Amino acid sequence: MKERKITDKEIELLRPYTKKRKVSLWGTPSMVTPCLIRTVFGNGKQLMGFQTLNSRPKYYLVLVDSKTPIDNDDAFDEFFEKHFGIFPDVIYQAIEEEYGNANDLENNYENNNNSPCRKFNKGIDCCQCDKKYDCKWTKWPALNDDCGCSWWQEASTKELKKCFEKHKEQK
C-alpha cells in the first residue's frame, strides 16, 4: 500500500463531508468546517476523522485504506505502521506539509528569531500571533500536536460508496 495525493474528483465527491457543521465539545456547541487532508493512505475507501487535542473541536478528514481497523487501537497502530509508518506521526507529517506547524519546536521556531511567524509578525511570539495576525504557522488548520490526538470513523467504505453513487446520479 502506498500514500498518494487526493484527486480533484475525490475532493468533489467528499464535499458533503467538508461542509460547516455544528459540533459539541464539553457541552459547548461550535460551528466547524472539517479540513480535508490531501494525502490518501492506501485505497482511500474509508474516511477517518482526526483531531489534535489542542485544535478541538476543529478536526481533519483523512482518506485511509478500507482495511484500516479504525475502531481497534492496537490493530490500527499495527496496520498503520506496517503499511505507512508510525501513527500518528505520518498523519501529523501530512498535515504539517500541507498547512505548516503552529508550534514547531523541532525547528526551534518557538521564541526564536528564525521563526517564519516572528519574521512575518515583526518579532511577536507565535502564541500571540493567532489573535492578532493572519499567520499560516499558528492558525487553523496548521498542526498543533503537542497534546495528543483522537480519531474515529467519519464514513465507512459502504457510506462513501453511497455518497459517490449519489453524486454520479446528480450529474
The per-residue pLDDT for range 34-71, each reduced to its tens digit, is 999 999 999 999 999 999 988 889 999 999 999 999 99
Q: What is the pLDDT of residue 33?
A: 92
Is-contact 45 65, C-beta < 8 A?
Answer: yes
- What is the grid cell recorded at 85? 509508518
Residues 47, 45: Cα–Cα separation, whole Å: 7
| pLDDT tier at 171, thresholds 50, 70, 90 | low
**Domain positions in the chain:** 3-100+144-170, 103-138
pLDDT of residue 99 exceeding 90: no
Q: What is the pLDDT of residue 167?
A: 65
Q: Specify the DSSP class assigned to residue 26.
A: T
From the number of C-beta atoms within 10 Å of its C-beta (0-12, 13-18, 19+), residue 17 rates as: middle
pLDDT tens per residue, range 135-148 = 444 567 888 877 78
| Amino acid found at 127 | C
112-138 mean pLDDT = 45
**Average pLDDT taken over every residue of the chain:** 80
| pLDDT tier at 104, thresholds 50, 70, 90 | low
